[in-house]
Each structure stands twice: as C-alpha cells, then as structure tokens.
Structure 1
C-alpha cells in the first residue's frame, strides 16, 4: 500500500482549516497554526456583544480534525522539502499550502483565552452608558447594529467621514442601513471625522 502524501498547511484560518479538514482522512496532514482553534472571523462582533456565541464560533482544531497533526507554532522558514517552525519543529512535506491570510499576528493562543477576551470586552460594553463608533463601513455599521439589538437603551453614536454609510455598496444599501440605524435611535453623523491626535 502506498504511503499517504504529506500535506503541510500553514495557517488555520478559513482557507487553511478547510483544506486540512478536506484532506484529513486522505493524506498525512499537518496543520501549523499559532492558535489551538479556528475562529469564524465574521462572528467576532456578535461575540463581543454576546460572548457565549464564541463557544460556537471558536472551534478547537482538534474538534474537527480526526487524524491530522496540529503544530501550535508559526512557520519560520520554508525549503523545497520542509517547513521549520518558530518552536523548532522541522516538518517535511510533499505538498505545501500557505494560508497565512492577513498580516495580523495578535490574538490569544487558546480558545479559552479568546473567550475570556470577548467576556472582558462585553463587560466594558455593558458598563458603558454610551458608545462611539468611528467609521461607517461594514464593520462600524454591523457593530452599531449588534449593540443596539442587545442593548436597545444604550446611546450609540456612529461618525463617518463620507456622505453615506457603507459607501462601497450602492446608494440603496446605504439608505437602508441609515434608515434602520436611525429607527434604533443610533445617532449617525456623516461628513465628519474624529481627530485622535492627543487622545489616550
């Protein structure tokens, strides 16, 4: 019987975890990721408002990988036959898949730490009488929406430098978002910006 091909996947985000899972039983898979979990990135704002949601949106790699090995580290260097990690492991491969995504390198290493981070952010949010959101792109609009749904009595102000929200979309979407936020008593200030110089 032929030996299974060795696949090394660097990065446990959406692409890397999907590839590792899809080849888990078909090949000798090693996933290299500094975290012990996969996080659904577009669920982060919901988790800030409702930390229990993170129990479902943060999934330990060991929960969905049956046979693949996890090396909890970052890749340091790559040759044409092996990956060397920061932790000193040298992992040979037949196929290398690099799914490192963005340049963001922060964040906790474990699922438990990530959930604690969401809980801490949520406590700050619960204690606040008012919330100022700078930027009316998709993240700012979504965060404002998440907050007013769970905390309808909180004063939320959204400041955007453009003349309409989520301005990379069409005007119809911008108007709909603005109308909905205003219906939830969000104060939306357009064509203005917050100067952060000197603020701590």
Structure 2
C-alpha cells in the first residue's frame, strides 16, 4: 500500500525566544520543527540590518528590508510583536512583559542582539518601533537628510561605513562630499581583533579612491560636542553646521554626521540576567546563561559574552542560511535542548569561525571591482560573491527563509 512520510512528533514543551533578529528568527525556525514556540519581539517586523547601507539611500529597498514574521513558523509557532520582555524569573520559569503580562517557558532563548549606534536601525524612542509604518518613516527621514546634505562625514571605516559611503556616492552622484574617518590604517583593516589581508585592504583603498571618497585614516573624530552627541543619541545622526575635530588636529566641516561604530548589547534591558562588565549576557560553552541552575535558559548572538567573531551566521547558524552559513549559535542551542529532552547532558559547544572569516564589502553597486572579498573557502569566485551582495545584500535569501518572498516584479 502507498503511504506518506509523517512529520516528526512535536513536543508540547514551550520554547520562548526573546528577540527576532537573524539569530532569533533562525532559532524560531529550528524550534518550530520540534516544540511549541513563542517568539517575542518589540518591533513589528525584522529589520534586515545587513541591507540597510542601501536602505538608507533607497526607501523602497528599506521597506523591503522590513521582513514580516507572520509566516516564519509554518508548524504553528506564535509570534508576539509590539511587546518586550523586561524581566526573567528563573525560579518561576516565566518572563515578564512590558504590558504587565507574563509567559511561562520550559526553555528560554535570549536573542536580543545588540542595538547599532548607526541609523541602520532606529535609536530608542526615535520612532514607534512597534509599527512598521513608524520604522519606514524613520528611514525615509534619514534618506532625505542624506540626499539634502552636501558634506557627509561617516565615522567608522568598517563594513557599514564603507558600504554606506559607496551607496551614497552611487545614489546621489559625484557632487556630494563624502568623508570616512577611521582609526585604522585602511578600511576594514581589522575584524574584531584579527587583521584582514593586506590585499583586501588595498582593494578597498583603491575602490574608495576611485569613488572619490575621502578617507581620513589613523584618526579619531571627536563626537562629544553637545550639538553632535545629543543628536546621535536621539536619531542616530547629526545635522547642521558641524565642525568635526580629528585627533590629528584637522577640523573638517560637515552638515551631516553619521556614526557607523559601536553597538549596545540588548541584555542591558533585561532584569534577572547576569551581565559582564561590558553589558553582555554571561554564558558557558554550551550557551547556557549563568545563574540559572535548571540549565534551561540560553542566549545566542551579539548579546552574549562569547569571543566569537560577530558575523551574520554566528547567531543564525546553519538553518537555511545559504552561502552565509556557519556553525552557529542557534544550532548549538537546538542540539542542546534536544539532548536535555533525551535525558542527556548538553554537549554541543560554540565553534570559533576561521581566523579569516568571510567578508564581502562592496563600494557602490555596479562594478564588481569596486570592493573587496575575503573568502577562506578555496575556489570561491570573488567576483561572483561580490555580484551577489551588490545585487541586494542577500535580501531575497533572507526573505525566502522567513517565508516572506518579494513580489515577482522585484
């Protein structure tokens, strides 16, 4: 007789995931195959921050970078948007929400990430983040300010700063003055303590020069003046007649300053969780959060105190990550929860990525030579990788993962 393959039996155990970024959505996708899942996220949609250097100059693309959660978990998982977890009560196995309610859990995964200090995501209170429309309005405002500014200064020459500089040049032409201030000897010279290859650095230097992007290297920009500091805190950028003093004594004039450095770990907003001196959630090698004796509370991604490279695949892991995949935090936690359910001790551990991890940094959108690639996997075609990222920053892949594909016209 004919038959069909039944779905694996799902446990009634309740997995609560706090945070719906790359790590949280990947954790939800995995857990939804085996458990009852609730994902809690303040925002009405996931901001695909990897694509926001283009989103800040193209509001249509920014809108596409807001990915809805409604079809993320096809096996029945629940997404609660518009609310945030404020406290974790390990003794009662509950999380308390900012609307006064609470949620019980059998397993809890904290995936609250780190809030960027750049306008790739709105600062706290800059807009109504519970509303997708509110987030879109914020990005529209940033785009209009960039378009209007004649002298844009970007502070930070890492991937975000370099990519945003290239996108601004591509979108608004050769007349706009674009300056990138960077503390190192070359753009993207260092990846969280690991120097990038000299050839990679040179390609970025050449690409910035070809795009007439003025690089100020081996300097720090003073952003402590009240006119700049207050605006950066309120909206992620500053506008006005802004003289910026560099550490070598040079003063450059700007009418828009954008910070592309730094992030605040999301665990700082949670009560009942042990943090280290930098505000990161303290975890062991199995990603179990310290201070919870039951061993059923985990944390993944940028909110943790692990020493991994902070890459797009680090939190998200193998779950449908495609070419950006890595042995990631979500995989480790999922394997450890399954082990506990079988009466075993957690054995999966975080794995350090290779010392030269993949980086694809375009400077503009058309010419594959305008940018640089570090790809530790042999035989990877750098031009092909650059073309993929220049096309849409891998947005289509991420939307397909979340069962929210773009319309056929796009």
Which interval holds the TM-score relative to the shorter structure?
Answer: 0.7 to 0.9
Q: How does 1:7-86 map to 2 (within 5 A)?
A: 7-24=15-32, 26-66=34-74, 67-71=76-80, 72-75=82-85, 76-80=87-91, 81-86=93-98
| Structure 1 stretch displaced more, 74-83 or 139-148 | 74-83
Displacement after TM superposition at 1:118 (Å)? 0.8
Q: Which residue of structure 2 aligns with residue 198 of structure 1?
A: 225
CA distance in 2, matches of 1:193, 1:135: 9
Please report the TM-score for the alignment, with normalisation by the length of structure 1. 0.88
CA distance in 1, matches of 2:73, 2:154: 38
| Structure 1 stretch displaced more, 155-164 or 176-185 | 155-164
Name the SS for the 1:70 alignment partner. Answer: strand
What is the count of residue pairs matched by the alignment? 200
When residues 4 and 120 of structure 1 are mapped into structure 2, their CA distance, relative to the original with a 3 A threshold, is same
Displacement after TM superposition at 1:111 (Å)? 1.8
Q: Which runs of 5+ in 1 are unaligned?
A: none
| Structure 1 stretch displaced more, 116-125 or 151-160 | 151-160
CA distance in 1, matches of 2:98, 2:12: 26
Displacement after TM superposition at 1:103 (Å)? 5.7
CA distance in 2, matches of 1:191, 1:2: 55
- TM superposition outliers: structure 1 runs of 4+ over 4 Å: none
Please report the TM-score for the alignment, with normalisation by the length of structure 2. 0.45
Q: Which runs of 5+ in 2 are unaligned?
A: 1-8, 117-122, 191-195, 228-410
When residues 171 and 8 of structure 1 are mapped into structure 2, their CA distance, relative to the original with a 3 A threshold, is same
- Residues 115-135 of structure 1: CA distance to partner in whole angstroms, max 9, x if unpaired? 111110000111112211122
CA distance in 1, matches of 2:105, 2:14: 5
| Structure 1 stretch displaced more, 5-14 or 66-75 | 66-75
Name the SS for the 1:84 alignment partner. Answer: strand
Q: Which residue of structure 1 aligns with residue 136 of structure 2?
A: 115
Name the SS for the 1:61 alignment partner. Answer: coil
